[in-house]
Structure 1
Amino acid sequence: MKHYNIPIFISHFGCPNDCVFCNQKKINGRETDVSTDDIKDIIESYLKTLPKKSKKEVAFFGGTFTGISIKLQEEYLSVVYEYIKKGLIDGIRISTRPDYINEEIVEILRKYGVTTVELGVQSLDEDVLRQTHRFYPVQNVFLASKLIKSAGIQLGIQLMLGLPGSTDESDYMSAVKTVELNPDVARIYPTLVIKETEMAEMFRNGSYIPLSLDKAVKRCKKIYSLLDYSDINIIRVGLQPTEDLNDSENVLGGPFHPAFRELVVGEIYYDFLKNILEVEERLEVESNEKNVSRIVGINKINREKFGKDLKIKIDNTLEVNVIKVNGNIYSWKQVLRGEIDEPGNNKY
């Protein structure tokens, strides 16, 4: 059954945190900018167009949901809960910070039918957290995750690559610790420099240098491979293209690409095939046609790199997550494993 989010974007104007990458505006006297009537109108509008036989979640995005007052949280959730009781909505998805989760909050979320909580973890390296002004110990992430999963609520983890103070190793270790958390879903975002943030000033004075697109793809592919190999559902890689993100006045720097995930997957396939070519000196690939674009890469970049060495034949009897190379069948997990094995290991 197809899944649809009904997005409701909230801004937590009362948020006391000043993360260097966030440009959320502070407006005195207002906690947020969404009314309960707004929520009803948004839900009703979506229900008119979404297929009846589909899974629908109301998703509160854009702010630290559990950072707003308990009273307002319950007002918002109770509106959606009425639709859940009528069978029109299947659940609620929220995003919040790990240090804004406790037993009382989790019980409220469970009571009103919240099905997924995504934690904006960003990094599991305490030095990176300090440099981004996220002042909580990593242990808080583990405690929050345990509370969420114990309540029968799906856990999501959001990671940001290339934050101030991060390295290839620290970002990868954040992914290793994410696997220990055993989340149901994950999102991976390369860090962008957004205007009107502290990071924008750091970028201007040279104290922060964002990742290039090439470096971001290379850093991300190992993390993507580890999470996917560990059966964690990666629901987004890279920020979704919007009018604001396509505007150079709002994004001052960083590795934005409208198809960042496809770049990462194409690079994973390139590494896999390159390792085989070095040993066998030929690449005769058979694949389901639905998988060919991932193998050849965006704008056929992998085909250009391999040139005449790469020969591809369509075989729709093969599953999408399986390819045959030089007569040998490889699963997608075997492709991924090449990125996460230690150097020198027999990858295939």
Structure 2
Amino acid sequence: MKHYNIPVFISHFGCPNDCVFCNQKKINGRETDVTLEDLKEIIDSYLKTLPKKSKKEVAFFGGTFTGISLKLQEDYLRIVKPYIDRGEIQGIRLSTRPDYINEEIMALLKKYGVTTIELGVQSLDPLVLKRTARYYPENVVYEACELIKKSNINLGIQVMIGLPEATLEKDIETAKKVIELQPDIARIYPTLVIKETELAKMYLEKKYNPLTLDEAIERTKKIYSLFLMNGINVIRVGLQPSDDLREEGNVLGGPFHPAFRELVEGEIYYDFLKNILLKDEILDIQVNEKDMSRVIGINKVNRERFGKKFIIKIDKELSFGNIRVNGIEYSRLDVLRGEL
């Protein structure tokens, strides 16, 4: 069944944290910017257009949901609950920080039908956490994950690569620790320098160098492959190319690309095919139609790289994810394994 999010973007103006990459504004006297009336209007508007025979979740994004007051959390959740009871919506998903999860909060979220909680873990390296002004110890992440899983709520983990003090080795070590936590889903975000952040100040003062696009792809494809090979569903790679990010002057530096995941996929297939070409003289390829674009790469870059040695055809009998090269069939895991 097709899945749809009904996105509700709530800022948390009262957030006491000042993570270096965040540009969330502080507004005195206001907790957030979405009223209860706004929330109901957003849900009703989406329900008018989304297919009735589909899975729908209200998704609270944009802020630290469990960082707002318990009363306001409950007010929001109480608005959504009748839609769940009527079967119009199948659940609620939200994003928050690991240090904003406890028994009391989990009881509230469970009561109102929350189905997925995504934790903005970002890194599990102590020095990286300190340099990004996320001062909780590593064990806080493990405890939050345990509480979520114990409540039978789907666990999501968000990681960021290329943060201050992060290296390839540190980012991969974080990925390995995330795998141990066994989340249901994950997101991978390359660090961008957004205006009006502490990171922007560090960047302008030459105290932080963001990853180049090539460096970010190289680092991401390894972590992405690790997650997929360990059964973690990676639901996003790279930030959503919103109007804010596209607006000139908002992104000061870093590896922003509107099709970042496609770039990563293309490089994974390039590496896989390049290794085959080391022992064979040609790449005679058959793929499922749905795999064609990621094997060829964005702007057909892989076809251009391999030139006349690259021959590709659609084979409708091949399963999605499988690829046949020079008469040998490989699984999706075979392709990913090459990155590790």
What is the TM-score when the length of structure 1 is the normalising length? 0.96
Q: CA deviation at 1:51?
A: 0.7
Q: CA deviation at 1:35?
A: 1.1
Residue 63 in 1 paired to residue 45 in 2?
no
Match of 2:116 in 1: 116
Question: Structure 2 counterpart of 1:291, which letter?
Answer: D
Q: CA deviation at 1:280?
A: 2.3
CA distance in 1, matches of 2:288, 2:72: 50
Query: Over residues 187-207 of structure 1, what are the superposed CA-to-partner deviations in whole Å (9 max), with x where a residue is unaligned?
Result: 111111000000001110100
Q: Secondary structure at the match of 1:244?
A: helix
Query: Over residues 232-287 of structure 1, what are the superposed CA-to-partner deviations in whole Å (9 max), with x where a residue is unaligned?
Result: 11111111111111123111011000100000000000111111111223211111
Match of 1:194 in 2: 194
Q: CA deviation at 1:86?
A: 1.2
Which one is further off, 194-203 or 299-308? 299-308
Q: How is 1:111-260 mapped onto 2 (pairs within 5 angstroms)?
A: 111-260=111-260
Residue 10 in 1 paired to residue 10 in 2?
yes
Unmatched 5+ residue regions in structure 2? none
CA distance in 2, matches of 1:278, 1:322: 21
Q: CA deviation at 1:13?
A: 0.6
CA distance in 1, matches of 2:333, 2:124: 25
Match of 1:284 in 2: 284
Query: Over residues 304-336 of structure 1, what are the superposed CA-to-partner deviations in whole Å (9 max), with x where a residue is unaligned?
Result: 111112111221111121100111110001100
CA distance in 2, matches of 1:123, 1:248: 29
Which one is further off, 172-181 or 273-282? 273-282
Match of 1:48 in 2: 48
CA distance in 2, matches of 1:314, 1:74: 52
CA distance in 1, matches of 2:319, 2:271: 21
Instruction: Report how many aligned residue pairs link the two structures.
Output: 340
RMSD: 0.8
CA distance in 2, matches of 1:244, 1:83: 31
The percent identity for this pair of structures is 68
Match of 1:320 in 2: 320
CA distance in 2, matches of 1:306, 1:203: 38
Q: Secondary structure at the match of 2:124?
A: coil
CA distance in 1, matches of 2:108, 2:83: 17
Unmatched 5+ residue regions in structure 1? 341-348
Q: Secondary structure at the match of 1:245?
A: helix
CA distance in 2, matches of 1:294, 1:160: 23
Q: CA deviation at 1:338?
A: 1.0
Question: Structure 1 counterpart of 2:144, which letter?
Answer: A
CA distance in 2, matches of 1:24, 1:280: 53
CA distance in 2, matches of 1:44, 1:27: 28
Query: Over residues 110-147 of structure 1, what are the superposed CA-to-partner deviations in whole Å (9 max), with x where a residue is unaligned?
Result: 01000000000011111100000000111111110010
Q: Secondary structure at the match of 1:99?
A: helix
Question: Structure 1 counterpart of 2:112, which letter?
Answer: Y
Q: Secondary structure at the match of 1:307?
A: helix
Match of 1:306 in 2: 306
Query: Over residues 142-178 of structure 1, what are the superposed CA-to-partner deviations in whole Å (9 max), with x where a residue is unaligned?
Result: 1100100110100000011111110001111111111
Query: Over residues 37-95 of structure 1, what are the superposed CA-to-partner deviations in whole Å (9 max), with x where a residue is unaligned?
Result: 11111111111111110000000000000000111111111110111111111000000
Match of 1:332 in 2: 332
Question: Structure 1 counterpart of 2:4, which letter?
Answer: Y
Q: Secondary structure at the match of 1:52?
A: coil
CA distance in 1, matches of 2:173, 2:309: 35
What is the TM-score when the length of structure 2 is the normalising length? 0.99
Which one is further off, 181-190 or 302-311? 302-311
